[in-house]
Amino acid sequence: MRRVRACPDIRKTRTHWQSVELSARSRALRAALRLVVPYPAMATDQQNSCPSHAAGDVRARSARGLLLAASLIALFGLVAVQARDLGAIAPGPEPANSPVKSLAATCAGCHGTDGIGAQDSAIPPIVGLSPAAFVERMRAFRDGAGNPTIMRQISAGYSEDQIQALAEYFAGIARR
């Protein structure tokens, strides 16, 4: 089995449980940020690289972090900055026991730990997709398109915000 290194997530959280349900305001802000700072190119099966290993991507992520923090403070006044190292150049380790990790673990029973399955698996891996592609695929399942067997029944159990969180989580996982 290929080894996995979790790439740091731009949304750092402390170990305090936070709902993965995003408020409408933060969703709008994130959408706005994507227009300003393009999301780094996602690792594909072939590239096998973690975005955080590339210096440029680290800076891009940190830039997004700075922009996020600045925007939040500017727009909403006093905001509790949850991230440990927003603004740092080198991202710290991802919190291991986060809500999104538990959520992602519910996918692992079929798709493998961190969405990476065994070689030649008929069940596809769920890493290596951009967040938009992941979200689109889950929406297609819920609408009855795509996989004709099981994913419509499973995907219906996850909210839009949970799917968005999973999309970003799995996009951040890369293979070595």
Partner 1 sequence: MRRRDLLRSVAAAGTLALAGCAGSVGRRTQPRVVVVGGGYGGATAAKYLRLFSDARVDVTLVEANSRFVSSPLSNRVIAGELSIADLTVDYDRLHTRHGVILVRDRVTSIDAIGKSIALGHGTRLRYDKLVLSPGIEPIVAPIEGLAAAHAAGRIVFAWSGGPETVALQRQLAAMRDGGVFVITIPESPYRCPPAPYERASLVAAYLQAHKPRSKVLVLDANQDVAAMGPLFKEAWRNLYGDLIEYRNHYSVVGVDGAALTLRFDVQEDVQADVINVLPPVRAAALAADAGLVNVNGRWCEVDFLTFESKVAKDVHVLGDSIQAAPMMPKSGFMANAHAKVAAAAIVAQLDGEPPNPQPMLANTCYAFVAPAQAMHAASVYRFDEARHLFEPIAGTGGASAVPSELEARYALSWARNIWADMLG
Interacting residues with partner 1 (CB under 8 A): 1, 3, 5, 15-17, 19, 93, 96-97, 99, 101-103, 105-113, 117-118, 121-123, 149-150, 153-154, 156-158
- Name 49's Cβ contacts closer than 8 Å, sequence gap at least 6: 43, 174
Tell me which residue of 79, 122, 131, 124 sits closest to 100, measured CA to CA.
131
Rounded to a whole number of angstroms, the minimum distance from the CB of residue 159 to partner 1 is: 10
39 contacts 61 by C-beta, under 8 angstroms: no
Tell me the pairing of strands 4-6 and 173-175. antiparallel
Rounded to a whole number of angstroms, the minimum distance from the CB of residue 111 to partner 1 is: 6
Tell me which residue of 121, 101, 110, 102 sits closest to 173, measured CA to CA.
101
Q: Which is nearer to partner 1, 37 or 110 (CB)?
A: 110
Rounded to a whole number of angstroms, the minimum distance from the CB of residue 93 to partner 1 is: 7
- Name 98's Cβ contacts closer than 8 Å, sequence gap at least 6: 13, 15
Rounded to a whole number of angstroms, the minimum distance from the CB of residue 44 to partner 1 is: 20
Q: Which is nearer to partner 1, 87 or 93 (CB)?
A: 93
Q: Which is nearer to partner 1, 6 or 132 (CB)?
A: 6
Q: Which is nearer to partner 1, 67 or 110 (CB)?
A: 110
